[in-house]
């Protein structure tokens, strides 16, 4: 049994690069990478007060709205501009003077506003038992 497990592990390790290449190809077709998805939802949940089911539903809705409203490339440009525009000095000037970044930052703000208004903040998640049909 141990020998079979080791052989399986070696086999999986040898095919991992091929799997990674396929994932990279998918990402180039306007798929938001998993890391970006998780980071957005976790940051959103922290902003709303912590990790719980209520905040998860709200943040997942907001993320879906943002993802529908803009491409990943534009999202990335807008986020980069947002993070770095307050950087002081010459390096910050590169971002502040970037018209493309500012344009997509403004698009990002509009998409966020729409997401915030269309996704309710869930206050309580209550699981109920299904009723039986008699």
Helix/strand/coil for 29: coil
Round to whole Å and give the CA distance between 26 and 43.
Answer: 25
Round to whole Å and give the CA distance between 93 and 22.
Answer: 37
Domain containing residue 65: 32-118
pTM above the 0.85 mark? no
Round to whole Å and give the CA distance between 95 and 5.
Answer: 51
Crossing angle of the two packed helices 53-69 and 99-118, in degrees rounded to 10: 130
Is 38 contained in some domain?
A: yes
Round to whole Å and give the CA distance between 62 and 112.
Answer: 8
Residues 39 and 15 in one domain: no
pLDDT digits (tens, 9 = 90+) for 41-89: 999 999 999 999 889 999 999 999 999 999 999 999 999 999 888 888 8
Split into its structural domains, the chain has a count of: 2
Give mean pLDDT, residues 101-107. Answer: 92
Residues 12 and 55 in one domain: no
Residues 56 and 1 in one domain: no
């Amino acid at each position: 049994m141990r020998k079979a497990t080791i052989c399986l592990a070696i086999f999986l390790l040898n095919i991992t690069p091929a799997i990674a290449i396929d994932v990279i190809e998918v990402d180039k077709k306007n798929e938001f990478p998993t890391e970006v998805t998780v980071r957005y939802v976790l940051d959103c949940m922290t902003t709303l007060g912590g990790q719980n089911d209520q905040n998860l539903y709200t943040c997942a809705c907001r993320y879906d709205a943002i993802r529908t409203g803009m491409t990943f490339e534009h999202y990335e440009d807008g986020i980069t501009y947002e993070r770095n525009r307050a950087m002081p000095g010459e390096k910050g000037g590169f971002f502040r003077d970037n018209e493309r970044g500012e344009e997509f930052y403004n698009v990002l703000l509009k998409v966020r506003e729409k997401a915030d208004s269309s996704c309710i903040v869930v206050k309580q998640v209550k699981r109920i038992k299904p009723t039986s049909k008699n």
